Amino acid sequence: MASLKIFKQAKNHYIKDWDRIAGKQIHINTGIQHTGETEKETQALLIKAESYLGKYLRNQKGRYETAKLLRKHAENKLSISISDAIDEYLKNKSKSVKVNKRTLIDYKRHLSYLNNHSGENYKLGQVTFGSLESLKDELAMDRTPSGVDGILRGIKAFIRWSYAEYELKNLHKIILRFNELKVAVGNRKPKKRVVTDEEFKLVLFYVDDQTEFGHLCKTYFEFARKTGRRLTEISKGYINGHNWHYGSKGNDDQVLFLEKDLIQKWLTIQEYIPKDEDGLVSETELSRFTNKITSAFTTAMRKTLLHNDMPFLKECGYLPVDLLKIGRSRTTKLATKLLLRRYAKMYNMTMKDMTGAHKRIALKRIPSFHSLRHSVCTEMVKDKGIEFTRVFIGHSNIKTTEEYTHMSQLEVSKRHFENN
């Protein structure tokens, strides 16, 4: 409680108080002397100082109440969900004569991506640049750069309005980095990562070729790594001499020359392809069969990922040799933990900050069976040039081949002209 205080070397009355807002003790000079020429004057000065103290206490009460309201308002701003903020934003825009119905529908559609990506009850104060970058990556998986940028422009407008409305610091930080969210032309969707020679050796190492199925998987992987063919392409066709006839996307009559060892691998694979009573390939059973091959590759690739991160593996209580013993379920759990941790670190997030969308993107950051095709393209274009690679791999459009090479436009063009 505030009180009057007299200091030895001071002429005036002081108010001694604990400021709850500042969190410290304060002394306020009243400007009223504490000693008069007579005792009566001294008493009158004291009464005047006590009156000053009364006014001070009333002002402080009002100040504390105002601070309480401001604090409550700030807490309300922090607690507002993205969903509620979007509703307020759309209501605001619907009142504007400059916004027509078509534009309002676009606003609603663009912001639905942000709302769905963030998840239910996600707070506006929790939005970070990393979460928007994650959304951008997710959108880019099946949209053109201009399509993604259109959605991001709608989200940026909402973020600017929200900052002006709620004054949240996290939104201001995002606004300062808006330009970094623009999608680069040509990055229509994230490319699959290539499988290096070292990784492929480990993939083969972690396939149990002592079993019949394991031996088959290894044969599939080696054939794909040499030829760059898709999984479904490898499973069909026929051999005529050294020529392998097979069908592919948009072309049912592709022919590839095979060396003797590759012919043997392909014939081995055909022994296991499911067929009906008439000896024809059963599409339903083939789909189930190839899914098992894909799953086996993914498991081996996950073990390779774990093998190459010894500190993490050791932290989990394992050695590389242990990876040969653990099954698919345990491998998946360990690899999932590692991929989520890497993603969170990359975008400066905590594991708790990660939404379902963040996790889906994080878990895709591992080579798949189809990545073997990318690996063949990338290596071949360095040695043979882009046009040779396009013909070999079976692309009708050279632009598609460029997406598979994992090289810059400068590198691709240089290789192209060096080999022509």
The confidence score (pLDDT) of residue 300 equals 96
The confidence score (pLDDT) of residue 412 equals 55
279 Ramachandran zone, left/alpha/beta (phi>0; psi -120 to 50): left
| Residue 326 exposed, middle or buried by CB count within 10 Å (0-12, 13-18, 19+) | middle
Q: In whole angstroms, what is the distance from residue 29 CA to residue 6 CA?
A: 10
Domains of the chain, residue spans: 3-79, 82-181, 197-335, 371-418
Instruction: Please name the helix (run of DSSP H) or strand (run of DSSP E) that holds residue 243, with its range, or none.
Output: strand 243-248
- Could you say which residues of the chain have pLDDT below 50? 70, 185-190
Closest to 381 measured CA to CA, from 355, 350, 419, 343: 419
Neighbours of 349 (CB within 10 A): 18
The confidence score (pLDDT) of residue 275 equals 81
**This prediction's pTM:** 0.55
Q: Per the structure block, which two tokens stand in for 385?
A: 């040039």
Q: pLDDT, tens digit, for every residue of 226-249?
A: 999 999 889 888 899 999 988 766
Instruction: Specify the fold of 82-181.
Output: DNA polymerase; domain 1 (1.10.150)
At residue 144, what is the residue type?
A: T
The confidence score (pLDDT) of residue 397 equals 80
